[in-house]
Amino acid sequence: MDKKNFEDALKRLETIVDDLEQGDVPIEDTIKMFQEGVEIARFCKEKLKSAENEIQKIVKNSDGDFQLTILPE
């Protein structure tokens, strides 16, 4: 799967889960779908971690305003 963005990847993962929950997928296809799902889950986890890191760059200063702080990578 060409994972272009988080939303598309999540939709594909939801489709895989729905198909596997139906229980009528041949075992060979089940294994392939499960493997794809694991790869997509890893991709989504990385995207979420990246977003979390970006959000953590925003900190409250002493005036109560928000400022952008660049954290070392």
Please report, for the domain that includes residue 28, its CATH number: 1.10.287
Q: How many domains does the chain have?
A: 1
The per-residue pLDDT for range 3-48, each reduced to its tens digit, is 579 999 999 999 999 999 998 999 999 999 999 999 999 999 999 9
Which residue range(s) make up the domain with 59?
A: 6-68
pLDDT value at position 51? 85
Residue 67 pairs with which residues in a beta bridge? 59
Q: Which residue has the higher pLDDT, 59 or 31?
A: 31
pLDDT value at position 32? 96
- Domain membership of residue 1 (yes or no) is no
| Separation in Å, CA 15 to CA 2, 8, 52, 56, 69 | 15, 11, 25, 31, 38
pLDDT value at position 67? 62
